[in-house]
Amino acid sequence: MISFLRMRLAGALATIFGASLISFILLRVLPGDPVRLIAGPLASEQALEGVRRQLGIDLPLPVQYARYIGGFVTGDWGFSFTAGGPVREVFASRIAATAELALFAFVIAFTAALILALLATYRRNRIIDGFVRVISTFGLGTPQFWLAMILLIVFFEQLNLFPGPSGRLDASTLAPPRVTGLLTVDSLLAGRWDAFSQAIEHLILPALSLGFVPFAFLVRLLRANLLEMSREPFIVVVRSKGIGYWATHTRHVLPNAFLPTLTASGLILAELLTGSVLVEKVFAWPGIGALVVDSILRQDYAVVQSFILLTAVLYVGVSFLVDMLYGVIDPRTRNPVSQRG
Amino acid sequence: MSAQTTIIKRTARPRITFEGVTAALRFILLDPTLLIAFLLMVLLVGLALLGPLLWGIDPLKLDFGAVFAAPSPQHPMGTDSLGRDIFARFYSGAQISLTVGVVAVVFGAVLGGAVGLIAGMSGGWVDVLLMRTMDAILAFPPLVLAMAITIGLGAGIETAAIAIIVTTIPWYARLVRSDVLRVRSMPFIEAAVAIGMARWPMIRRHVVPHIMPTLLIQAAASFGYAILALAALGFVGLGAQIPTPEWGAMITEGLSDALTGRWWVGVFPGVGILLAVTAANLFADRARDLLDIRAE
């Protein structure tokens, strides 16, 4: 177990190293002349030289890379000239909005997927199963930003059931005192029911747009796993002992079907991260995703660069964690010799 | 089992015959899932090819006399803020997306397949180096990496296509490598080595045919990904540039009009994306059911 852990950790670190090299080359070495961009088109040769030295672009590439990684690890992620502050502070002020949205999207997607997958496989309900298959097929082909637009057209413009693209609260509402940064939690802590219901209303459409693709993915996976598990011999044994169908389904089939789903959490995280970039902009959501899109348009690459490397670290970190969790939950996978699939 | 062997036999000597094509068509027509996927693709490809001939309106032509015209027989999908005909832009978008999809699939499959084949056949440090590189690419969510690549190379359709190709290479490489490792341990390879067959002819004759089903399935899935990714890159301004009628960029343009009652500007391009990607996914799913040797 320890050697397996050590090997996995070394692998994860090597991957992050490779990823950092890729992002260094793509965003530091390749894109044009950042000096011109910062100093402006009218800057003198002397001023350019100054900026170059300040940025460290005159140094050899390996030194630049070392400084880049050193800066990243110590929390110096550069300066965002569009937001007018250090990237790390800008991220810190926006992470709660993104986290709250992603969390909501995930909870909606997971709950819906679980219920629908159980109903679809329980006694092989044909109608629900057909519905699940159609919706998951379309779900995987839906561009999130387009879905966001459709939801706004239908539920805001036409039916006026939910607020439009106006951020996390109505403009006239005062935000509750910041404790966690999650408005739903903070407003409850402050006992502000008006802010709470507004925060929920503002969350629903963005969360639906962001959660739809993970939902489609999860429901498909759960359905397939549930079907596969329900055909296992031990299920027949449980049934022949006289345990009811529903109890067998939820108590014996479901926990086993969950394990492969856990492996997909990396993919779901990736989906939520990229999704936030595509969805937040549509809803004027003050999160990191919208910031990244604005930074791309204004060529403020310090932001984009940090986002990309952070994403890789988070993504690799989560799949490492999942591997470890897998060993804890299912002892059969602990010993690499008996590892299955 | 018999279906698999015939496929392997057929791919061993790829020759397109009339009988082969009609047999494939009959197979598609009798399979509901494949039929839907096939019809969707025929519709989109048909629009992309015949649109310019039959409709013939310039997708870039401005008409300030017909700004924001609602869908009507004259403009089946309406017009946008500059009076451009959205139907013309829709099929031009189909041309762009389908072309990028095909290019991405061909290059991705060839390059990724080659990486997987080389890694699997050579083993040792070549394998480690290649697969570590693939892991580093896989460390990013694909779209995030695609964004980084287009930033590095400069925004545009060509660089977006390159970015999409790069992000798909590891998928092929991993699958093909594991296929190669599986095939390599089979008795017929041992036999081929034993009778003194040279390395490359053996790979071409006995290994490559076995990785074709995997490549095909992944290619279909990647086609859908490519179209979706191109649209997403276009949406954030890293793909096609204004005024190119690319579906993702068209949705961005339509976004500002969506809440003022001009829904048609952004809705139709998204329908195009949805149909194209769904067709590709349906095809990939069905192909996986029919061809996947490991799914027993």
Q: What is the pLDDT of residue A341?
A: 37
Nearest residue of B to residue A266, measured between CA atoms: B141
Residues of chain B with C-beta less than 8 angstroms from the C-beta of A273: 141, 144
Q: What is the pLDDT of residue B97?
A: 92
Q: What is the pLDDT of residues A303-333, one digit of tens each?
A: 888 888 888 888 888 888 887 887 777 766 6
Phi first, then psi: give them for residue A285, nearest 5 degrees.
-80, 125
Asked if A150 and B267 come within 8 Å (Cβ–Cβ), the reply is: yes
Does residue B243 have a cis peptide bond before it, meaning omega lies within 30 degrees of 0? yes
What is the homologous superfamily of the domain A86-340 according to CATH?
MetI-like (1.10.3720.10)
| Cα B205 from Cα B173, distance rounded (Å) | 19
B99/chain A closest Cα distance in angstroms: 18
Q: What is the pLDDT of residue B293?
A: 54
What region, left, alpha or beta, does residue B154 occupy, with left being phi > 0 and alpha being psi -120 to 50 degrees? left
A177: DSSP letter: P
Nearest residue of B to residue A163, measured between CA atoms: B259
Residues of chain A with C-beta less than 8 angstroms from the C-beta of B246: none
Q: Tokens for A44, please give them.
A: 């003198």
Q: What is the pLDDT of residues A21-48, one digit of tens each?
A: 888 888 776 665 666 666 666 777 787 7
Among A253, A252, A245, CA closest to A222: A253
Q: What is the pLDDT of residue B74?
A: 77
Asked if B267 and A308 come within 8 Å (Cβ–Cβ), the reply is: no
Among A219, A30, A203, CA closest to A102: A203
A284/chain B closest Cα distance in angstroms: 12
Window A:220-239, CB contacts with B under 8 Å: none
| In chain A, where the domains are located | 14-76, 86-340
A8/chain B closest Cα distance in angstroms: 13
Residues of chain A with pLDDT under 70: 1-2, 29-41, 55-57, 331-341
DSSP string, chain B: -HHHHHHHHHHHS----HHHHHHHHHHHHH-HHHHHHHHHHHHHHHHHHHHHHHT---TT---GGGTTPPS-SSSTT-B-TT--BHHHHHHHHHHHHHHHHHHHHHHHHHHHHHHHHHHHHH-HHHHHHHHHHHHHHHTS-HHHHHHHHHHHH-SSHHHHHHHHHHHHHHHHHHHHHHHHHHHHTSHHHHHHHHTT--HHHHIIIIIHHHHHHHHHHHHHHHHHHHHHHHHHHHHTTSSSPTT---HHHHHHHHHHHHTTT-THHHHHHHHHHHHHHHHHHHHHHHHHHHH-SS--
Chain A contact present for B251, CB below 8 A: yes
User: By percentage, how much of chain B surpasses pLDDT 70?
Assistant: 93
Asked if A27 and B254 come within 8 Å (Cβ–Cβ), the reply is: no
Q: Which CATH architecture has domain B3-9+31-54+76-295?
A: Orthogonal Bundle (1.10)
Window B:129-158, CB contacts with A under 8 Å: 132-133, 135-145, 147-149, 151-154
Q: What is the pLDDT of residues B220-277, one digit of tens each?
A: 889 999 999 999 999 888 888 878 888 988 888 888 887 887 888 888 899 999 999 9
Four-point Cα dihedral B107, B108, B109, B115, nearest 10: 110
Q: What is the pLDDT of residue A31?
A: 65
Question: A with B: how many residue pairs have Cβ under 8 Å apart?
Answer: 154
Chain B contact present for A68, CB below 8 A: no
Asked if A308 and B144 come within 8 Å (Cβ–Cβ), the reply is: yes
Disruptive mutation site among A146, A157, A221, A296 for chain B (greatest number of B CBs within 10 Å): A146
Cβ atoms of residues A226 and A118 within 8 Å: yes
**Exposure string (b/e) for A199-221, b if CB count within 10 Å is 16 or more?**
beebbbbbbbbbbbbbbbbbbbb
Q: Look up the ipTM and state it.
A: 0.84
| In chain B, where the domains are located | 3-9+31-54+76-295
Residue with tokens 């992603």: A102
| Cα B3 from Cα B291, distance rounded (Å) | 8
